Amino acid sequence: MSETRLRPPLRGKELVLAILRWILIIFFAVYTLFPLLWLLSSSLKTNFEFLTKSPFALPAVPQWQNYTNALSVAGLGRMLLNSVIVGLVATLVNVIIASMGAYCISRFRFRGRESIYTLFTAGILVPLSALMVPYFVIINKLGLYNTYGGMILLYCAIGIPMSTFLIRGLMDSIPMELEEAAYIDGCGFYGRFFHIILPLSRTGIVTAATFQFLTCWNEFIFANLIVSSEKLRTIQVGIRYFTNQFSTDYVSMYAAIVISIVPSIIGYVLFQEQIIAGMTSGAVKG
């Protein structure tokens, strides 16, 4: 493991293993990247090029107008905006509720605390898609079918167990003495929460928020279920309709898919640590 370890020159079996190792490393990288590059390259071709030339040929002249086409025909701008609105509001409300809950669970001993925490953890385990029917009914009963409110409420709610779990983890690591000292100095419940615990839990909250936003951004099943109006479609639901809208205009369709993927990739590169932390902590989901 240590990098300073002296390696004798490789031979025989070791050499075979080293070669095998690199074959695997490169195979998986190519497997992931190549389709994405193919998509990007196809999105810059003309339809004629795409249909008649080799799929691996690069575009002769990059056709940037495919992207303007995609934006105008599919109403991608509107969809991106919808996704941003729903994602941001749901994330904001989600982390506020989760921080408040996490604070209580993390800092106080009260009756029912353990059962409440168990309830949250169990919530992470529930296969949400199995609850499609009741969610559909609840959103309808609340009169929120086909509204931003419905999506925001549902997204905010389904992320609560995970966000509470992530934020609580960080709050647990803040020394109790800090808060006790503030308490003795006469700092009340809200003061301690807003001035001491919340600022110190920043990293946990950012992780939860990043994870929550990505979940909202990529969510499809429920968005597809509780929204039918074209005006409210999120980008993921929109993708489903691209295929019809661009029935023969393949290259513009590919441009539309690229546009829908790019924000996720940029977000990932910017918030890599938070996203990986959020997703791997979620591994308790087992």
Partner 1 sequence: MKPTSSDRRALAAFMAPAIAVMVIFFIIPILYVLVVSCLKWNGISAPQVVGLENFVKLLKNSTFQRSLKNNIIWALVAGFIQVPLAMVMAIILSRKPKGWKFFRTVYFFPQVISGIALATLWRAIYNAEHGMLNGLLSAIGLGSLTTDWLGNSGTAFPAVLIYWVFYVGYYMVIMMADITTIDTSYYEAATIDGATDFQQAIYITIPLIKKTSLLTCVTLASVMGLRQFEQVYMLTNGGPNHRTSTMVLYMYERLQSESYGLASATAVILIIVGVIFIITIRTLFNGRGETVKPKKARRAVK
| Residues 32-51 interacting with partner 1 (rule: CB under 8 A) | 32-33, 35-36, 38-39, 42, 50-51
- The answer to whether 25 contacts partner 1 (rule: CB under 8 A) is yes
SS3 labels along 214-283: HHHHHCCHHHHHHCCCHHHCCHHHHHHHHHHHCCCCHHHHHHHHHHHHHHHHHHHHHCHHHHHHHHHHHH
At closest approach, how far in Å is the CB of 65 from partner 1?
20
Residue 72 vs 266, nearer CB to partner 1: 266
At closest approach, how far in Å is the CB of 51 from partner 1?
6
Among 44, 79, 95, 158, binds partner 1 (CB under 8 A): 158
Among 88, 107, 187, 198, binds partner 1 (CB under 8 A): 107
Q: x/- string (CB under 8 A) for partner 1, residues 48-87?
A: --xx--xxx-------------------------------
Among 9, 61, 134, 247, binds partner 1 (CB under 8 A): 134
Among 109, 186, 229, 248, binds partner 1 (CB under 8 A): 109
What is the distance between the alpha carbons of residues 216 and 210, in angstroms, rounded to a whole number? 10
DSSP sequence for 32-64: HHHHHHHHHHHTTS-HHHHHHS-TTSPPSS--T
What is the distance between the alpha carbons of residues 153 and 145, in angstroms, rounded to a whole number? 11
- The answer to whether 216 contacts partner 1 (rule: CB under 8 A) is no
Range 164-203, binding partner 1 (CB under 8 A): 164, 176, 179-180, 183, 188-190, 193
Among 108, 184, 185, 199, binds partner 1 (CB under 8 A): 108
Q: Which stretch binds partner 1 (CB under 8 A): 60-68, 70-78, 130-138, 143-151?
A: 130-138
- Tokens, residue 69: 């086409």
Please report, in angstroms and rounded to a whole number, the separation of the first and last CA atoms in the chain.
Answer: 29
Q: Which stretch binds partner 1 (CB under 8 A): 20-28, 61-69, 74-82, 144-152?
A: 20-28
Range 238-257, binding partner 1 (CB under 8 A): 239-240, 242-243, 250, 254, 257
What is the distance between the alpha carbons of residues 192 and 242, in angstroms, rounded to a whole number? 50
What is the distance between the alpha carbons of residues 147 and 151, in angstroms, rounded to a whole number? 7
